[in-house]
Amino acid sequence: MSPWRSLLPLVLAGSVVPHLLYVGWVARQNLHPDLFGYRAGAGLALRGVSPYPPDRVPPLVAAQFPGLPDIGPNWGFFLPPEGILLLAPLAVLPWPAAKAVWVTVVTAVGAVGAVALTATFGRNPERLPRLSLAVPPVLLLNPITLSAQVPGQTSLLALGCVAVGQWFFERGRAVPGTLLWAVPFVKPHVALPLLPLAWFLGGWRRAAGLGVAVAGLNIAGGLVSTGSPLLALEYVRGLADRHQSIPFNTAAGNPQFAGWNRAAIAAGGPVVELRVTGTLIGSAVWLGLLAVRAWRAGVRPSPAWAAAAAGVGTVLCSQALVYEFLILALAVPHALDLWEGGRRRWAVALAALLLIQTVPQPPVADFVAGLGVGGRVQEVLVSYRSFGVLSAAAVVLLGPVNPTRR
């Protein structure tokens, strides 16, 4: 057993306590507009009213947060019926209690996931590398994680569920593993790469089981709310009609997006917004590139490399907002493997590109403005997240897929 493992409880406590102090302060403010909207939508659905028409939930959010005048026009209930099922317990609680339960559960799952991340996808969990001690504080205290807790987003919960679910899979506990991996599908565009990752790690049965679980949860969400097993179809129609009518959700209007299309826009290329079809096509291209890379390597890629490919591919191929970039933490075990395997330049490059994503965008925009540059140069500089993800994708594709340990 690694001698560093004995320090893990102390490191974890040192990460969780300040995280909880921060989210506890946030919970006492009139914040969490996303969580309020999710809970309100689930409450409407449990009363038999569909939350998907744009005149249902956004006005409730705007009324709750009068100090945020832009929140109404820039908000929409975009969770599938599975999300209604997940958030139903919060809908029956008073708002203060619902906030407390949410931040407690999300923090707990995220903390356990920070440990499980390197103890599952890593190639030698019993020989815990000392650098893995940096994972809990970096994951729980970086600006993206903390900022995601302000509106009440699901990203830390999703990442924790993937890591803990993999822990169950590795111990032959397929049912809890599958259910935990189904949780991130409350944001399907972010969770989509989990299906090929499940196939790679556990074969077609694991992938099929995950698909069945997600479909079943969406059917159940419709049945226990409006009574319709096809409520998901209304969700899909609403997503296509409204999601990118909100300026904040467009790559052209938001330089914080990190998909390939934002890099193309910044470089002067055509404006491409990644809707469902574009996301699926991009994901298929990325999967094809990964398959070619694995074939050319001549060895079976490591689970850590596959997880890194899934995390980077999520942000690269979809229109994910900044708080969803936590999925990039799936690349951390691969960076540690590269370091432990003696491929330290690759490890440092990947780690640096991941850390770039955590740098808040407003200070960068102010710095760029202070440089006095404009036009295309300014667009490229403020779109640093997109070019960072493109570079991380290059590291995954060009670097070792299964580094040999010394």
Q: Residue 403 has what DSSP assignment?
A: P
State how far the Cα of 343 lies from the Cα of 333, in Å rounded to an integer.
Answer: 13
Q: Is pLDDT at 406 greater than 50 in this prediction?
A: no
Q: What is the structure's pLDDT at 245?
A: 57
What token pair was written down for 9?
Answer: 């409880």
State how far the Cα of 168 lies from the Cα of 180, in Å rounded to an integer.
Answer: 9
Please list, in sequence order, all residues whose beta carbon lies within 8 angstroms of the beta carbon of residue 346, skipping any fewer than 6 positions away: 338, 395, 399, 400, 403
Encode pLDDT of 359-399 as tens digits.
988 888 888 888 877 778 888 888 999 999 999 999 999 99
Q: Is pLDDT at 405 greater than 50 in this prediction?
A: no
Q: Look up the pTM and report it.
A: 0.92
Q: How many residues does the chain have?
A: 406
Going from the C-alpha of 286 to that of each of 160, 309, 315, 347, 396, the distances in angstroms are 24, 9, 11, 21, 11
Q: What is the structure's pLDDT at 9?
A: 86
Q: Residue 252 has what DSSP assignment?
A: T
Q: What is the structure's pLDDT at 124?
A: 58
What token pair was written down for 387?
Answer: 């070019």
Which class for 131: exposed (0-12), middle (13-18), buried (19 or more C-beta within 10 A)?
A: middle
**Domain residue ranges in the chain:** 1-245, 251-406
Confidence of residue 178 (pLDDT cuts 50, 70, 90): very high
Confidence of residue 125 (pLDDT cuts 50, 70, 90): low
State how far the Cα of 208 lies from the Cα of 220, in Å rounded to an integer.
Answer: 18
Q: What is the structure's pLDDT at 126?
A: 53
